[in-house]
């Protein structure tokens, strides 16, 4: 009788272990399409069909992009001159035979935290289950996204000498978590702009209405400004002497493209819709 109970306990533990392994395998993203030159963090080419796990990165060059689909059905386009790290990915086991791209809603509780090192991403987070999260973290704040199409971008504004975070909510629920004073107010074009304040000891969280955009600006007077700008020189797309931020003198200087409309960086995405 004791042996029977012992065997049952072993089977239960084995089943739990297998479930945990299966859940870890499910927490991933698949590369659906690649345009131009797209690599991983080791600078190896990223091919269509590649499976990415927690800790992997996607890096795009000029005129390049990649379309990813996650195990919760959500999609992400990594625009040109961008770098994204899949910092945290978890997905509980679920049944069914649908592929990632066929999922129209989160099939089980999931957690996704992406780090936008630089550049721009857009995508569509499918309907999430209670307790599931999909977040994109940047040096100036985090976008917490639930069931919407969205855009998140970090860029250098050459005209103002500022580092910028821009988050746009197309049609669903997006919260911005960042350090700024006051409350967001939206003006022309449903755009709300706030100054980043490092002295604020806590991150505020506010919901961005549908069809609205939030811009957080960090001036060069901010104590964290130099650290963020200098960090960009570690990335190959920004190692260029000719177009560094005014007044900055470093061995390697970031490269940016500037639009004539507002003096800010522009990111193109050939062959893929915004």
Where do we find the tokens 């003006």? 187
Both tokens of 93, joined, read 């086991």
> pLDDT at residue 270 above 90?
no
Q: Encoding tokens for residue 231?
A: 């960090």
Question: Per-residue pLDDT tens for 172-197?
Answer: 999 999 999 888 999 999 999 999 99
Q: Is residue 19 part of a domain?
A: yes
pLDDT tier, 49 (very low <50, low <70, confident <90, very high otherwise): very high
- Residues 230 and 213: their CA atoms lie apart, in Å, by 27
**CATH number where 29 lies:** 2.60.120.1440
Q: How many domains would you assign to the chain? A: 1
Structure tokens at 101: 């791209």
156 falls within a domain: yes
Q: Kindly state whether residue 208 falls inside one of the protein's structural domains.
A: yes
In three-state secondary structure terms, 78 is: strand
Residue numbers of the domain that contains 165: 2-227
181 inside domain: yes
Using alpha carbons, list the distances in angstroms from residue 99 to 25, 50, 69, 96: 14, 14, 10, 9
For tokens 């990649």, the residue is 66
Q: Is residue 80 part of a domain?
A: yes
- Distance from C-alpha of 220 to C-alpha of 222, rounded to nearest angstrom: 5
> Sorting pLDDT into bands at 50, 70 and 90, what band is 34?
very high
Indicate whether 6 pLDDT > 60.
Answer: no
Cα–Cα distance, 212 to 187 (Å, whole number)? 10
Tell me 186's DSSP state: B
The whole-angstrom distance between residue 255's C-alpha and the CA centroid of its chain comes to 21
Residue 248 lies in a domain: no
What pLDDT digit, counting tens, does each position of 97-149 carry? 788 888 889 999 999 999 999 999 999 999 999 999 999 999 999 999 998 99
For residue 232, is pLDDT > 50? yes
Helix boundaries (H) for the chain: 2-26, 225-232
The structure's pTM equals 0.78
In a domain? residue 250:
no
DSSP string, 81-138: S-EEEEEEEEE--------GGG-SB-SS-EEEEEEEEEEEEEEEEPBPPTT-EEEEEE
Long-range contacts of 151-154 (CB under 8 A, 24+ apart): 151/120, 151/121, 151/122, 151/274, 152/116, 152/120, 152/121, 152/122, 153/119, 153/120, 153/121, 153/265, 153/267, 154/116, 154/118, 154/119, 154/120
Tell me, yes or no, whether 135 lies in a domain: yes
What does DSSP assign to residue 45? B
């Amino acid at each position: 009788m004791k042996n029977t109970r012992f065997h049952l306990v072993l089977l239960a533990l084995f089943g739990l272990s297998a479930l945990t392994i299966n859940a870890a395998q499910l927490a991933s993203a698949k590369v659906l399409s690649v345009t131009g030159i797209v690599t991983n963090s080791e600078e190896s080419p990223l091919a269509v069909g590649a499976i990415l796990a927690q800790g992997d990165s996607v890096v795009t060059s000029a005129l390049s992009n990649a379309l990813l689909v996650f195990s919760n059905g959500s999609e992400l386009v990594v625009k040109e001159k961008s770098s994204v790290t899949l910092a945290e990915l978890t997905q509980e086991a679920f049944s069914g035979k649908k592929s990632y791209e066929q999922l129209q809603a989160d099939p089980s509780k999931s957690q996704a935290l992406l780090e936008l090192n630089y550049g721009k991403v857009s995508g569509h987070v499918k309907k999430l289950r209670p307790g599931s999260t999909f977040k994109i973290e940047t040096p100036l704040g985090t976008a917490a996204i639930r069931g919407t199409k969205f855009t998140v971008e970090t860029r250098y504004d050459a005209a103002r000498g500022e580092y910028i975070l821009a988050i746009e909510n197309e049609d669903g629920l997006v919260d911005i978590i960042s350090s700024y004073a006051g409350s967001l107010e939206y003006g022309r074009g449903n755009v709300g702009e706030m100054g980043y304040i490092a002295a604020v000891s806590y991150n505020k969280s506010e919901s961005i209405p549908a069809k609205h955009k939030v811009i957080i600006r960090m001036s060069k007077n901010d104590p964290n400004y130099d650290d963020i700008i200098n960090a960009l020189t570690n990335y190959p797309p920004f190692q260029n002497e000719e177009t560094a931020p005014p007044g900055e003198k470093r061995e390697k200087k970031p490269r940016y493209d500037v639009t004539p409309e507002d003096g800010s960086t522009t990111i193109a995405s050939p062959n893929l819709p915004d």
